[in-house]
Structures are given as C-alpha cells and as structure tokens.
Amino acid sequence: MNRKEYHFVFDVYDSINELSKSDASLLHEARAVTKNAYAPYSNFNVAAVAQLSNGEIVAGTNQENASYPVGICAERVMLSIVSSLHPTASINTIAIAYNNLNGESNQPVSPCGMCRQAFAEYEIRANKSFRLILSGMEGEVFVIDKASQLLPLSFSL
Ligand code: THU
C-alpha cells in the first residue's frame, strides 16, 4: 500500500490593494459585474471574469431559474462564452467575486464542485493552466496558481 499526499499552496492577500495592477483591475471588474447576475432566488450574485491570451475580457454571471436546477453558475456561463466566442484564445486568469444581498460578502468565494470539474477539463483541453483570483466585495483575496488544483483526482475520459 502506498499512501500518497496532495499538497496545495495558495496566496492570501489582505485586500485588493495588495494585488498587482492587472489582477486588481480584473477583480475590480468581477466585483462590478456581480450587478448583472440574475439571482432572485438566492440573492447571491456571482461574477466570473476571464482575461484571455488575445487581450479580451469575458464576463459571466450566475443565471437562476424558478426551476432551481436549471440555474447556471457564473463560472460556467463565462467558460461557455469564452469557448463560443473566442475558440482559439486561452485563459490566463479568472477573477471570481460575489455580492451576497442577504449578508456579508467579505470572505473569498469558493467555486462549487461542478465548476471545479469544468475548470479542470478546460485546462486539459487548452493544454494550459490558468490562475484564479477569489474574493467577495471586500476583504481577503485568494490567488490560486492552477484552477485544477481545486479538484484533485478530477474525472476525465
Ligand atoms: N454560484 C455561482 O455562480 N458560483 C459559485 O462559485 C458558487 C455559487 C451561484 C449558484 C446560485 O445561483 C447562487 O450562487 C447560490 O448558490
């Protein structure tokens, strides 16, 4: 029997003010774009904004539905737009932010398992990893070097 270890290291910043200019700008955009979410059932507005290799910035927001499982997370809305409109570009960095209209928005967002799986396959498909910047509307910011680090042993065919 071999016991294997998975080691995960990420950066924690006290606030957006500690980020590089380009990372701060992307997170700022994500925070602003949360207003475009359609989340009348959860009141939890999320935005994911990607900075692409061709210089384009692509944003997605969560889109809910009265039939709850129909709703889509901001991250997968954004990935679908990237894939559909910029099929030859790759993703460099994604900033994800949320505005919880029912409470605080000062802890970094943690993408759901389904979005982690989508990120993992997107990295495989593009043969390139991308960074994640995770935050709320204020407070700490997590920066993760490779999105797939969030889902060890992810499923693939
Ligand atoms: N949600 C996202 O869009 N991304 C995340 O990373 C976490 C959750 C959405 C799904 C749903 O519309 C709302 O947030 C509350 O779960």
- Give me the catalytic one of 29, 75, 104, 123: 75
Q: Which two tokens stand for residue 147?
A: 């999105």
| Residue 75 bears catalytic tag | yes
**Read out DSSP for 23-66?**
HHHHHHHHHHHGGG-B-TTT-EEEEEEEEETTS-EEEEE-B--S
Give tens-digit pLDDT for 38-93.
999 999 999 999 999 999 999 999 999 999 999 999 999 999 999 999 999 999 99
- The pLDDT value given to residue 19: 98
Give tens-digit pLDDT for 128-152.
999 999 999 999 999 999 999 999 9
Taking the model in full, what pTM does it have? 0.97
Whole-angstrom distance, CA of residue 60 vs CA of residue 52: 14
Calculate the alpha carbon distances from 133 to 26, 112, 142, 157 in Å.
Answer: 9, 15, 6, 28
Atom from ligand 1 closest to the CA of residue 110: 6
Mean confidence (pLDDT) of the chain: 97
Domain ranges of the chain: 11-139+146-150
Superfamily of domain 11-139+146-150: Cytidine Deaminase, domain 2 (3.40.140.10)
pLDDT band, very low/low/confident/very high, at 14 (cuts 50, 70, 90): very high
Q: Is 136 in the pocket of ligand 1 (CB under 6 A)?
A: no
